[in-house]
């Protein structure tokens, strides 16, 4: 094996490692985001359940309006965090598929 060929193979292996790191970082970041969103969803569910369990009278029209907003947003977030919602998100963001390396570029001056 020539010295140039060996250098090229070493460069390619370093680039593959950077490529894997890029993918792992993107996946880890979205996992953290989904976990945070899931925790927020749990808080919304508890809030909505608590308000639903109270007797809301005509004198609490503002609370009733707030509850309606909370319920709509809860439904929207539940849909976004469902398997179908996550599939759409991952497809849009090029994650967990063959194109996970979206926006991967070796560092400037790497070559």
What is residue 105's predicted lDDT score, i.e. its pLDDT?
77
Query: Count of alpha carbons within 13 Å of 62, Cβ hemisphere only?
Result: 0
Alpha carbon of residue 11 to chain centroid: 32
In a domain, 23, yes or no: yes
Separation between Cα atoms, residue 91 and residue 10, nearest integer Å = 33
What is residue 61's predicted lDDT score, i.e. its pLDDT?
87
In a domain, 109, yes or no: no
In a domain, 51, yes or no: yes
In a domain, 104, yes or no: no
Separation between Cα atoms, residue 37 and residue 85, nearest integer Å = 13
Domain holding 76, by residue range, is 7-92
22 contacts 101 by C-beta, under 8 angstroms: yes
**pLDDT of the chain along its 111 residues, tens only?**
798 898 888 888 988 888 889 899 999 999 999 999 999 999 999 999 999 998 776 668 899 899 999 999 999 999 999 999 999 999 999 999 887 776 777 776 555
| Total domains in the fold of the chain | 1
23 contacts 101 by C-beta, under 8 angstroms: yes
32 contacts 95 by C-beta, under 8 angstroms: no
In a domain, 11, yes or no: yes
What is residue 39's predicted lDDT score, i.e. its pLDDT?
97
């Amino acid at each position: 094996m020539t010295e140039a060929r060996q250098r090229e193979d070493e460069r390619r292996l370093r680039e593959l490692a950077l490529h894997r790191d890029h993918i792992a970082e993107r996946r880890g970041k979205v996992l953290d985001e989904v976990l945070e969103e899931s925790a927020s969803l749990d808080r919304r569910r508890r809030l909505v359940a608590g308000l639903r369990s109270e007797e809301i009278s005509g004198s609490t029209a503002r609370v009733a309006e707030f509850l309606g907003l909370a319920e709509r947003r809860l439904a929207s977030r539940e849909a976004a965090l469902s398997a179908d919602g996550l599939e759409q998100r991952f497809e849009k963001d090029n994650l967990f598929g063959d194109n996970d390396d979206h926006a991967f570029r070796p560092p400037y001056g790497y070559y």
